[in-house]
């Protein structure tokens, strides 16, 4: 029999480690229950980052009692932990080693990434985790030595299967922990945000109750040992799911590691917040009460930034006029001060955008819908029942459809004049295929013209090749940088400049992505001052809708006095949408060739271009029209015709005409605003215009009756005419940039 060390020889080391751990517990209790203990680190530096203090205290007591039992067994030389056990001998060494290695790696990460933590005090939790790991390893050493003389167990292969399975799970868990620990560093490195500075402490489920009894709940991320820091507030209707929770946690940690306190709050009815989700309408009041709550927090120093896109761009605009407390810098993407015009561009209803929003945004969470559900919704009358046909009745969809005019409903959402009362510079970001683009550009123009110079001069505009929070594939398979990455990457420098007052690299007032050339370019203003607005006049022999018809776009006014192209618009067979600026997966660039073969689409095309033509800015279509309907729509679409005959979407617009807009005795001149764009039509390509009366379901179809569109169930067909020539110079006005 091999002579083994007596169990009592291990006891002094175990008692020493236990005493060290008890000192940790005692010091923690002193910090918590005795105020003004300046010679000990503050409470947050004693927490492990896994358990809250209320749970941590209980777990510490359990650890002390269990490890005390181990020490007593070793002192007596008998007991469960002293008696040889193959189970303990098998698992304790691996447990202790993995535990110790994880703590060592954690220490290395902290010391390497976070310069304020390069001292032992901030690593108190890690030190005492190592104490526990050494305790386990000493017991493991005894057990490994003690089982040497025990007979081997049968069924060894089964034990190895179990050990292997557990080992794989443990390795996967450690790898997941390591990836999660380094994810903010990697994300910051990938986005060029500079190195992290501070480790992060997260408070989860922090909230308050509003004056109406609604509990608004947030997660708060604090940079450790940073003193008082600026705060970034994000108010978002997020779904409480693992993916969303992880992404919000990751972005918050990226900011907090760079010296910002981050408050990520679920809006009413979303996340962990109470109440009923009612899009847009309660956000002004809830936002004001959130600002009041922030002002009462001991960590809030008055410097506040806000960030986010779409809905949580809106939650910024409703607070953009506030001061003390109020935001000092805003980062708003794909949202504007004018939600009415997003829902009703040119007076027509953005059906696919509205139905997409309604189908995805359920009372507590965002969900996906099927293509069949969308098709059921858009196929049928009346318009107001589209949600019922798709899934079920959705009250806020009914509200959007029932208020086609800018009435009290939209006034309470859009406010009075948010640009006039703006109190902070804004970093605006949008995409060429985003439904908010025209109104967001209008916000930028008004800020430049009406806001105080210190706000106007600091406001920035970025427009990329994106749809609404989606990266778009351009013709030729070109895919630019991811939208979501691009929305975060400017944020640190923006907040460093406007919240911390740091000197940062100066950026151009406007940065745009020029499609066709597929390059980013800096500009000084919007629209571009060097723009030459060029009219391309419509011309034909009256057969612009006969497939390969005779529709032309000319740079000179046609000599003929009056020629009209006609088509029949039937609301029961509308022209289908192919891409465009809308919410949902069908946004972006698509081929238009099948659409152009329809008899109810007029097609006008330039000759083959002998040189590149850049079109950057607002696009206008002036038509002289006639109709047999009391009320109808006209649409225009700008298309890039490639040498191989492929016709690709660039931009489109719509105009809804009421009876009072129409002249029954002569063609009526109308002006349709197409989506702004930046597109280089390359040499060898041709510029094309499509004219019709529908693009469905991007826009709802006008039933042509003049009655209430939301409830109409008996649409009628109409004959439409587009006149052009000397007397009626219908034209496409393009913002051409000299090359």
Give the DSSP H/E element, type plus range, for residue 620: strand 613-627
**Token pair in block for residue 341:** 């015009």
**What contacts 387, CB < 8 A, 6 or more positions away?**
355, 358, 359, 377, 393, 394, 397, 398
| Of the candidates 193, 207, 316, the residue with the CA atom closest to the CA atom of residue 256 | 193
310: annotated active-site residue: yes
Strand partners, 575: none
Of 427, 468, 624, 698, the active-site residue reads 468
Determine the straight-line distance between the first and last CA of the chain, rounded to whole angstroms.
Answer: 94
Taking CA atoms, 371 is separated from 107, 378, 397, 583, in Å, by: 50, 11, 18, 14
Residue with tokens 């029942």: 385
336 is catalytic: no
Cβ atoms of 589 and 473 within 8 Å: the answer is yes
Q: Which two tokens stand for residue 226?
A: 């940073």
Strand partners, 654: 635
Given a contact cutoff of 8 angstroms between Cβ atoms, the answer to whether 262 and 204 are in contact is no
Q: Give the helix ranges, DSSP H, for 370-508.
A: 371-378, 386-390, 395-402, 408-414, 437-450, 453-456, 483-488, 491-498
In degrees, rounded to 5, the angle at the alpha carbon of residue 205 between the alpha carbons of residues 201 and 208 is 120
75-83: long-range pairs with CB below 8 Å, 24+: 75/8, 75/11, 75/15, 77/6, 77/7, 77/8, 78/7, 81/139, 82/7, 82/142, 82/146, 83/146
Inter-residue contact 634 to 673 (CB < 8 Å): no
> C-alpha distances in angstroms, 568 versus 424, 574, 705?
51, 10, 15
671: how many CB neighbours lie within 10 A of its CB?
A: 12
Phi and psi at 69, nearest 5°, equal: -60, -40
Catalytic one among 73, 249, 434, 443? 434
Q: Cα separation of 224 and 202, whole Å?
A: 10
Q: How far apart are CA 412 and CA 282, in angstroms?
A: 9
Length of the chain: 739
**Torsion sign across C-alpha atoms 247, 251, 257, 261:** negative
**Residue 353 known to be catalytic:** no
For residue 148, give both structure tokens. 């040497």
Question: How far apart are the C-alpha atoms of 487 and 310, rounded to whole Å?
Answer: 12
- Are the C-beta atoms of residues 635 and 696 closer than 8 Å to each other? no
Q: Closest Cα partner for 419 from 386, 455, 383, 454?
A: 455
Bridge partners for 688 per DSSP: 605, 639
What lies within 8 Å, CB to CB, of 169 at 6+ separation is none
Q: Are 413 and 281 in contact (CB under 8 A)?
A: yes
Q: What is the CA radius of gyration of the chain?
A: 33
Which helix (H) or strand (E) is 736 found in, with range? strand 731-737
DSSP 575: P
Tokens of 628: 């047999």
* Cα dist from 501 to 329, 425, 495, 496, whole Å: 11, 13, 8, 6
Positions annotated as catalytic residues are: 310, 434, 468
């Amino acid at each position: 029999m091999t002579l083994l060390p007596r169990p009592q020889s291990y006891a002094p080391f175990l008692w020493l480690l236990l005493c060290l751990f008890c000192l940790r517990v005692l010091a923690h209790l002193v910090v918590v229950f005795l105020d003004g203990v300046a010679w000990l680190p503050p409470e947050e530096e004693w927490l492990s980052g896994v358990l809250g203090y209320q749970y941590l205290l209980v777990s510490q007591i359990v650890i002390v009692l269990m490890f005390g039992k181990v020490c007593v067994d070793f002192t007596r030389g008998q007991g469960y932990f002293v008696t040889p056990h193959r189970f303990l001998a098998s698992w304790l060494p691996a447990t202790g080693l993995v535990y110790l290695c994880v703590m060592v790696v954690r220490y290395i990460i902290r010391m390497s990434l976070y310069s304020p933590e390069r001292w032992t005090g901030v690593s108190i939790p890690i030190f005492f985790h190592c104490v526990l790991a050494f305790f386990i390893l000493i017991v493991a050493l005894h057990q490994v030595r003690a089982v040497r003389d025990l007979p081997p167990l049968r069924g060894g292969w089964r034990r190895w299967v179990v050990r292997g399975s557990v080992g794989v799970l443990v390795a996967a868990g450690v790898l997941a922990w390591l990836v999660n620990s380094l994810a903010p560093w990697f994300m910051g490195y990938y986005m060029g945000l500079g190195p992290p500075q501070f480790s992060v402490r997260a408070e989860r489920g922090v909230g308050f109750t509003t004056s109406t009894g609604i509990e608004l709940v947030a997660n708060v991320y604090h940079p450790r040992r940073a003193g008082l820091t600026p705060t970034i507030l994000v108010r978002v209707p997020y779904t409480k799911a693992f993916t969303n929770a992880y992404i919000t946690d990751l972005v918050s940690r990226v900011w907090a590691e760079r010296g910002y306190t981050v408050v990520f709050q679920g809006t009413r009815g979303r996340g962990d917040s109470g109440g009923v989700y009612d899009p847009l309408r309660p956000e002004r009041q809830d936002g004001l009460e959130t600002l009041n709550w922030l002002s009462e927090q001991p960590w809030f120093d008055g410097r506040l930034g806000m960030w986010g896109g779409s809905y949580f761009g809106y939650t910024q605009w409703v607070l953009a006029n506030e001061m003390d407390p109020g935001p000092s810098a805003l980062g708003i993407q794909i949202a504007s001060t004018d939600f009415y015009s997003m829902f009703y561009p040119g007076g027509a209803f953005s059906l696919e955008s509205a139905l997409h929003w309604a189908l995805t945004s359920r009372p507590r969470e965002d969900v996906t819908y099927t293509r069949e559900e969308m098709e059921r919704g858009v196929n049928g009358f009346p318009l107001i029942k589209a949600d019922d046909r798709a899934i079920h009745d959705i009250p806020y969809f009914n509200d959007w459809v029932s208020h086609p005019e800018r009435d009290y409903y939209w006034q309470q959402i859009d406010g009075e004049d948010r640009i006039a009362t703006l109190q902070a510079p804004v970093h605006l970001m949008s995409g060429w295929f985003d439904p908010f683009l025209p109104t967001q550009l209008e916000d930028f123009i008004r800020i430049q013209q009406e806001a105080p110079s210190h706000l106007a001069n600091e406001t920035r505009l970025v427009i990329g090749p994106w749809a609404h929070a989606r990266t778009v594939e351009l013709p030729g398979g070109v895919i630019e940088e991811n939208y979501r990455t691009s929305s975060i990457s400017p944020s640190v420098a923006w907040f460093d400049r406007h919240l911390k007052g740091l000197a940062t690299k100066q950026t151009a007032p406007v940065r745009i992505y020029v499609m066709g050339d597929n390059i980013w370019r800096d500009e000084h203003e919007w629209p571009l001052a060097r723009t030459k607005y060029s009219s391309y006049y419509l011309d034909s022999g009256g057969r612009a809708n006969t497939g390969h018809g005779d529709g032309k776009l000319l740079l000179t006014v046609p000599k003929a006095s009056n020629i009209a192209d006609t088509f029949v618009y039937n609301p029961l067979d509308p022209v289908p949408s192919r891409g465009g600026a809308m919410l949902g997966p069908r946004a972006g660039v698509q081929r238009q060739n099948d659409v152009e073969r329809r008899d109810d689409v007029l097609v006008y095309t330039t000759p083959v271009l002998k040189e590149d033509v850049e079109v950057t800015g607002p696009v206008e279509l002036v038509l002289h029209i006639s109709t047999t309907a009391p009320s109808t729509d006209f649409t225009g679409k700008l298309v890039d015709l490639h040498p191989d005959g492929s016709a690709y979407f660039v931009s489109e617009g719509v105009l809804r005409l009421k009876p009072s807009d129409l002249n029954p005795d002569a063609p009526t001149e109308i002006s349709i605003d197409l989506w702004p764009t930046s597109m280089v039509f390359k040499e060898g390509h041709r510029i094309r215009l499509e004219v019709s009366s529908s693009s469905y379901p991007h826009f709802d179809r006008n039933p042509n009756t003049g009655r209430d569109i939301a409830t109409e169930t008996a649409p009628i067909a109409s004959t439409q005419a587009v006149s052009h020539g000397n007397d009626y110079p219908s034209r496409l006005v393009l913002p051409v940039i000299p090359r």
